[in-house]
Amino acid sequence: MMTLEVAEFRSPIGALVVAARDGRLCALEFAARWPRRQRALARRFGPVTVQRVPDPAGAVTALQSYFAGARDALARVPVDPGGTEFQRRVWAALVRIPPGRTLSYRELAAAIGAPTAVRAVGAANGANPVALVIPCHRVIAADGTLGGYAGGLRRKRWLLAHEAAGSAA
């Protein structure tokens, strides 16, 4: 049986649960959505046990820094999101979007060399198991509206404002 190291973090946008396996973050989820994410992890890894630890994969420390204003703090957290080859391509492109910037789903599809796969890019974005660290909140609709976000639009709006606030020179 595999052990997941898990911690809860209270953030300005609500409680988050972080889970790591072998020193790599495999889930970062809003607490209300954690039971669903935990079932997905069990499907991915087989039977899992949960061990509460203070700072899985350094994610809690990175989240503290991020919410304190160090917009690039999450980039240093090692991740193991799993996913299909296509999802991993989308997620790798998301990580390249700098804090304070956004891309449309169409621009993201073009960035991974799949310009006609806009819907598939949106689905991969929504399947991201490592919210914030893989910054799916930085993707918006082509018309500039926020589009969807698993954590809710209020949280997406907050995150984008938080990151933009640090980009003023």
43-62 b/e (C-beta count within 10 Å ≥ 16 → b): ebeeebeeeebebbbbbbeb
Q: Which of 28, 136, 150, 160 is catalytic?
A: 136
136 annotated active-site: yes
Name the token pair of 82: 């799993």
The rounded distance, in Å, linking the Cα atoms of 132 and 147 is: 16
Q: Are 157 and 163 in contact (CB under 8 A)?
A: no
The rounded distance, in Å, linking the Cα atoms of 65 and 132 is: 13
Name the token pair of 51: 């061990």
Give the catalytic positions in this structure: 136
